[in-house]
Structure 1
Amino acid sequence: MTAPVGGTVASAATSSAATTVDRKDQNSKDMFLQLLVAQMRYQDPSNPASTTEFMSQTATFTQVEKLQELATQSAEMLSLQRSLSAGALVGHDVSWTDESGATRTGTVSSVRFFAGEPVAVVGDTEVPFGRLSEISASSD
């Protein structure tokens, strides 16, 4: 059985925030399209809106949509990079400060993921990556 070491890692909030943003973005897309259709439906026939204006709005909407896709892909790549970096620590010596303020050291035997966040297993202790203060090649 392992004893967890307390600590927080910033990206846990980031991943839950990204989920919330995605839902809001979907509502924004739907709202934009509803407003655009309503604008076209209820425009004054004697003074119709410019096609240039509609094209500009559509182009802006497309740009925002592509930026959102890019942000999602960047977040996925960051998550993958963190996972690969975490796995590379197995067998390395690490140092961290425990709850009592003492500096502890040990060799990483495995890496676990809790809620998408990497945690180094050192002996019987689970150390969140945010608490690691030093990483070095194993002395063995």
Structure 2
Amino acid sequence: MTSPTSGPLGTGGADAAKALAAAKASEAKSKSLGDKDTFMKLLVAQLKYQDPTKPADSTAFLAQTAQFTQVEKLEDMINMLQSQRMIGASSLVGKTVTYMDETGAQQTGVITAAKLNGDSEPTLKVGNTDVQLSKVVEITTATNA
């Protein structure tokens, strides 16, 4: 017996292709590097539409499961790194900094707030100016004399 279509997911016809296309479209919309929901959708679609007479290779399935675990662990590490960045930036609040502005001139001020925007580096609020942490050239503790 021949199947209507074949491909990396075995044989499964137009429904499998539609499910795979929908999952890939969802993946393209995702901004996250390792979107585990999309990975799971692809894995479920693969299992759902595989040809029962040609089941998925157990080695390949194990490799995909390992990749999923790896993606989860990487997401955990990213979250931990972001937390550490925020803790480090928030510890600077109240300190006096010297930073380079857009024109290349050095400016000095006291940090009043710190924020972290997504995966980017921390931004410090100095007066009415947002300063990226990488632009800071000196940090000093204000002395009360």
- Which of 30, 44, 49 matches 2:41? 30
Structure 1 residues 1-140: aligned runs within 5 Å? 19-23=31-35, 25-43=36-54, 54-108=57-111, 110-113=112-115, 115-116=117-118, 118-140=122-144
Following the alignment from structure 2 to structure 1, what is the Cα–Cα distance between the partners of residues 101 and 41?
49
- In the alignment, structure 1 segments of 5+ residues that lack a partner are 1-17, 44-48
8 Å Cα contact 2:100-2:107 kept in structure 1? yes
- In the superposition, the TM-score normalised over structure 1's length comes to 0.64
Could you tell me which residue of structure 2 aligns to residue 15 of structure 1? none
- The amino acid across from 1:58 in the alignment is F
CA distance 1:58–1:122, shift in 2 (3 Å):
same
Q: Deviation string for 1:41-98 (max 9, x for gaps)?
A: 132xxxxx7xxx8332232122111100001101111111111111100122211111
SS at structure 2 position matched to 1:19: coil
- In the superposition, the TM-score normalised over structure 2's length comes to 0.62
RMSD of aligned alpha carbons: 2.8
Q: Deviation string for 1:79-131 (max 9, x for gaps)?
A: 111111111001222111112221112222x2142634632222333222221
Percent identical pairs in the alignment equals 24
Q: Deviation string for 1:21-44 (max 9, x for gaps)?
A: 344x5444433443345445132x
Relative contact order (alpha carbons < 8 A, sep ≥ 6): 1 or 2 greater? Answer: 1
